[in-house]
Structure formats: C-alpha cells, structure tokens
C-alpha cells in the first residue's frame, strides 16, 4: 500500500498505526473466519490467501469516530467488490450510522456485538 504526500498521513507515526491496525484486522479475520488459512470477506465469503484484493473497513467511521480509529475490533475484511458496493449504496450515511454495515452484510454476530457494546458506553 502506498501513501501519497498530502493525504491523511501527517507523519510516519499515523501511517505506522494504520498499518498495524490493518494487519490486526486481517489477523483477527484469518483466525476467526478463515480457520488460520484464508482471509474471508464478511459479505460474500470469498476466500483469499493474500490481502491483495481485500480491504480492511472501519465499522465506526475513520473521520467521525477518532477514538475508535485504531481499535482492531473496529474493522472487518471485505473484498473490493463488496467494499465498493457498500460505499456506493450508503454513501455518506455510513459515516454516522454503523448499523448500515450490519444491514448490508446481513446480520454478522461479531459486528453486532461490537456495535452494541460501543453503544452502551
């Protein structure tokens, strides 16, 4: 993954934290869903051995929920097709409402538990 000048990366610390978060999201997915062998899209269940065609997606928006930004539980793995489909369908509504991800994925237990545990705070 390349990081261009002028985007959200103000310094190498933020870039390093993001890369660490992304790696943790993929490791959680591989351990829980992929049986330690595959990375699996939570929407279409597409299995891959590499992360090349998969994205780490924030459940709670990167921009609006800055304190949850680097929480490894605040991420799910989606293939490029499903990730782009989610953002095309919900556009900017998804920034404020993480429940839309549950609606799109069709009720994932781990995501539901994380969202409802965060609402109780």
Residues 5-60: pLDDT tens digits? Answer: 555 555 677 789 999 999 999 999 998 876 788 999 999 999 999 999 999 999 99
Asked if residues 38 and 30 have their Cβ atoms less than 8 Å apart, the reply is yes
Q: What is the pLDDT of residue 104?
A: 95
Q: How far apart are CA 89 and CA 27, in angstroms?
A: 28
pTM of the model: 0.83
The C-alpha torsion from 56 through 59 and 61 to 62, rounded to 10°, is -40
Length of the chain: 121
What band does 4 get if pLDDT is binned at 50, 70 and 90? low
């Amino acid at each position: 993954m390349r990081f261009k000048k002028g985007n959200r990366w103000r310094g190498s610390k933020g870039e390093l934290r993001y890369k660490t978060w992304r790696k943790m999201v993929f490791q959680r997915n591989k351990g829980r869903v992929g049986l330690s062998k595959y990375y699996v899209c939570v929407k279409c269940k597409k299995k891959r051995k590499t992360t090349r065609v998969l994205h780490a997606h924030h459940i709670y928006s990167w921009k609006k929920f800055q304190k949850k930004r680097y929480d490894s539980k605040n991420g799910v793995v989606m293939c490029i097709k499903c990730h782009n489909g989610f953002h095309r369908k919900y556009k900017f509504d998804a920034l404020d409402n993480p429940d839309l991800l549950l609606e799109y994925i069709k009720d994932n237990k781990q995501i539901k538990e994380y969202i409802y545990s965060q609402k109780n705070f």
